[in-house]
Amino acid sequence: MRNPRAYLENQCLADQGFIVASLDGRGTPGRDHDWERATKLNFIDIPLQDQVDGLQALGHDIPEMDLGHAGITGWSFGGYFTAMATTRRPDVFRAGVAGAPVVDFADYDTAYTERYLGTPQAQPDAYRKTSVLTYAAALSRPLLIMHGLTDDNVYFQNSVKLTQALIAAGRPYQLLLLPGTHQLPDPVLRARVDEARAGFLAEKLRK
C-alpha cells in the first residue's frame, strides 16, 4: 500500500459496517493508452457500465455483499461519477454522496477536458452526453451533494447548476456547503465530511 492515507475515507466507512469496493474501470490511468482513452468523447457510458459489471461480479463471489443496498460516493471526478450513477442507474445504486462534482465539463479545466472531449463548439454532443444536467430530472434516489464554497479546482458553480436543475425538475436532494477548497486540507473539516457521508449512507441504505 503506497499511500495508506488514501484509504482513510474507505476505512472510515468499513469501520461502520460497510463493505467498500473500489474498481478501476476503463478510463482510469496507469494501465495503457487504449484503456485510458476508452472515454474519448464520452466520460460516462463505458466507465459506468464497468462499475456496474464489477459490482455485480463481486456480489456474485462475495455473498456477504447485499447488492440491494448498494451506495456510491466519490470526490471531484468521483463526485461527477456518483451523481451520474445515482441518477442513471437507480436499479443498482440506492443512494449517492457526490463531493465537488464536475456537473458540466464546459465549466472545467480545458487542458483536461478537451484532451478527451474536444471543444464544445466542435463536439457539442459529447458535452451533452457527458453533462449531469442532461439527466438530472431523472433523479429518483437520495443524493447528498457536498462542495467547498472556495473550491479553486471544481468551481462551486457546478453544484449551483445541479441544484438549479434538480429544483426545476422537482427532484429532492441534500446539500452540504463546506468552508474550504477542493482538497479540504483542514483535518477537522475532513473528519466532519467523513461523518456526514457515513451518516447519510447509513440512513439511506439500511432501510
61 is catalytic: no
Of 45, 182, 186, 194, the active-site residue reads 182
Instruction: From the options 3.40.1160.10, 1.10.3720.10, 3.40.50.620, 3.40.50.1820, give the CATH code of 6-18+28-205.
Output: 3.40.50.1820
Please state, in angstroms and rounded to a whole number, the distance separating the CA atoms of residues 86 and 138: 10
Contact 201/73 with Cβ under 8 angstroms?
yes
Instruction: Tell me the pLDDT band of 3, cut-offs 50, 70 and 90.
Output: low
151 is catalytic: yes
Q: Output the CA torsion sign for 137, 141, 146, 152.
A: negative
* Mean pLDDT of the region 142-157: 97
pLDDT tens digits, 31-63: 888 998 899 999 999 999 999 999 999 999 999
Of 104, 131, 147, 151, the active-site residue reads 151
Of 76, 104, 147, 159, the active-site residue reads 76
69 is catalytic: no
